[in-house]
Structure 1
Amino acid sequence: MRLLILGGTGGLGRELARRGGPHVMAAGSRDADLRDPVQVRSLVRRVRPDVIVNAAYRQDDWAVTADGAAHVALAAVSSGARLVHVSSDAVFSGASGRYDESCPPVPATMYGAAKAAAETAVRAVDPGAVIARTSLIVGGPQTVIVARVHAGGVFFTDDVRCPVHVSDLAAALLELAVSGRAGVHHVAGADAVSRYELARLIAGRDGLDVSTVTAGTRAGAGLTGAADVRLDSTATQAVLNVVLRGARSFLSPASGRG
């Protein structure tokens, strides 16, 4: 399988490249600017992938996150490549707490709106694509939440997600890529935990002083946006071989480095 990974320089992209076999290209912004459909088409024609995994995004750039997803979907269809588009729990507002694959996007932030727009574009252009919504990605120091724990800061007790280990997520995405399945799939961890609990679990795993992890609240910080977003991955887990472990499992002392 010839695999093209967009967003290939990030933590997830590197894990996908590690697992993807001998015919992998992990592409970053230097290889193609997703805002430019010509560059995207040129890259896809040059690589001639069987599968494209689009894990690229920028939280502050609508053109990369939303328009870029449309450009990738168009290039995938024109080349006959299978597309797995990585989306986010940011498409939900948190008002309902738990969300399964049947729940329509109701974003509360501009980033969430961009990810929701990307989903709409991908579904319209390429109905056979997989849209894989995920949550906080946990791995080594290169993953965002782990880097934040090591740098220190305040972690909210009233901000709940379903973190997923980067290796579980990458394995699930590759499994979905060859499954022939289409549409929305939730690929998140089994445990719903607050960012504060998650930070303590990461600190414990990495040998940091857990007592230095500082608790706070979104409400106390005056922040708006989604607070409690729990992706229900039950339906997707039922069709996967890989087990989407919960954070309390993959960050436990018995799991080593996860």
Structure 2
Amino acid sequence: MTLLVVGASGYLGAEVCRRAVAAGERVVGTYHANPVELAGVEARRVDVTDRAAVRALVAAVRPTAVVSTPYRYDDWTVTADGAANVAYAAAEAGARLVHLSSDALHGGRPEPYADDEVPTPVFAYGAAKAAAETAVRAVDPQAALVRTSLIVGDERSKQIRLCLDALAGRASLFTDEARCPIDVSDLAAAVLELAEGDHAGLLNVAGPEAVSRAELGLLVARRYGIDPAGLRTATSAASGLVRPIEVRLDSSRAAGLLRVRLRGITELLAP
């Protein structure tokens, strides 16, 4: 298989590349600002907002499968338009597409969200991810669309770094925001399995255990042997930010469909 990873300079994209190289695949990874320097990966620079450039890249690489991970939190054109351009080019080339989406497109509620629930975004990033899904599904109905949550792992994870900053008093973690964190290696394995399969449509792929961001900080403290007394906390409600509060993804379908075991955050951050 020739695998094209769009967004290979990101935390997840880099892990997908590493695992695919280890499996003996030809891997091409794209970047925009931060060069990709991964052993065995052919690095290509591309601006995903430039449809012609994306089409030219895909036509040159001739991938069997494309994993689409690029996003920019505050940039609609990268998150939404970029995803549409990648989907268009992949479909044009007849390549299998796995598109990475997010739980951010849900509005938040106590009950878990099923795989195919309609997006209810409450802020711009969530709306951009919802728009990306709409475009991908319209262009390529056979694509797999993965809705995931907070991606954790080592100190390269921005979620882990945020927790470490909060434990050092440099940031705050919300006590009222619930998510279902997933380990980067579990998610990468799931993505590669989907790239080789034929699942079409939406699929929740997140950890089975929901925790607040503050609880995640306590687990990180335990994992790294840090005194949790210094943990700074706040509430999303009091912050004035408009973003979803409780977002729990029901990933039971993925757990039954995929070979990879999606581990809970308590297990992942055990001392």
TM range (shorter): over 0.9
Query: Offset at 1:213?
Result: 1.6
Unaligned runs of 5+ in 2: 34-44
- 1:40 corresponds in structure 2 to 54
- 1:233 corresponds in structure 2 to 251
Greater shift in the superposed pair: 106-115 or 24-33: 24-33
- 1:214 corresponds in structure 2 to 232
TM-score by length of 1: 0.95
Query: Offset at 1:46?
Result: 1.8
Greater shift in the superposed pair: 69-78 or 20-29: 20-29
Say if 2:110 and 2:248, in contact at 8 Å, map to a contact too: no
Distance, in Å, in 2 between the alignment partners of 1:70 and 1:57 is 12
TM-score by length of 2: 0.90
Q: Which deviations, in whole Å up to 9, do the C-alpha atoms of 1:99-132 show, x marking residues without a partner?
A: 0113111111100000000000000000000000
SS of the aligned residue for 1:231 comes to coil
- 2:134 corresponds in structure 1 to 120
SS of the aligned residue for 1:237 comes to helix
Distance, in Å, in 2 between the alignment partners of 1:109 and 1:197 is 24
Query: Offset at 1:26?
Result: 1.7
Query: Offset at 1:149?
Result: 1.9
SS of the aligned residue for 2:257 comes to coil
Query: Offset at 1:96?
Result: 5.4
Query: Offset at 1:85?
Result: 0.1
Return the letter of the residue paired with 1:175.
Answer: E
Distance, in Å, in 2 between the alignment partners of 1:176 and 1:183 is 11
Return the letter of the residue paired with 2:73.
Answer: Q
Unaligned runs of 5+ in 1: 254-258
Distance, in Å, in 2 between the alignment partners of 1:96 and 1:183 is 25
Query: Offset at 1:211?
Result: 2.0
Structure 1 residue 12 corresponds to structure 2 residue 12: yes
Structure 1 residue 101 corresponds to structure 2 residue 115: yes
Say if 2:164 and 2:217, in contact at 8 Å, map to a contact too: no
Return the letter of the residue paired with 2:81.
Answer: D
Distance, in Å, in 2 between the alignment partners of 1:230 and 1:207 is 28
Say if 1:10 and 1:142, in contact at 8 Å, map to a contact too: no
Give the aligned length.
Answer: 253
Say if 2:113 and 2:249, in contact at 8 Å, map to a contact too: yes
* Percent identical residues: 49
Q: Which deviations, in whole Å up to 9, do the C-alpha atoms of 1:157-186 show, x marking residues without a partner?
A: 100000000000000111111121110000
Structure 1 residue 57 corresponds to structure 2 residue 71: yes
Say if 1:7 and 1:13, in contact at 8 Å, map to a contact too: yes
SS of the aligned residue for 1:99 comes to coil
One of 124, 129, 144 as aligned partner of 2:143? 129
Distance, in Å, in 2 between the alignment partners of 1:39 and 1:202 is 41
- 1:157 corresponds in structure 2 to 175
SS of the aligned residue for 1:238 comes to helix
Say if 1:93 and 1:106, in contact at 8 Å, map to a contact too: yes
Distance, in Å, in 2 between the alignment partners of 1:97 and 1:208 is 33
Say if 1:160 and 1:229, in contact at 8 Å, map to a contact too: yes
Q: Which deviations, in whole Å up to 9, do the C-alpha atoms of 1:5-41 show, x marking residues without a partner?
A: 1110011011101101341112111511011001111
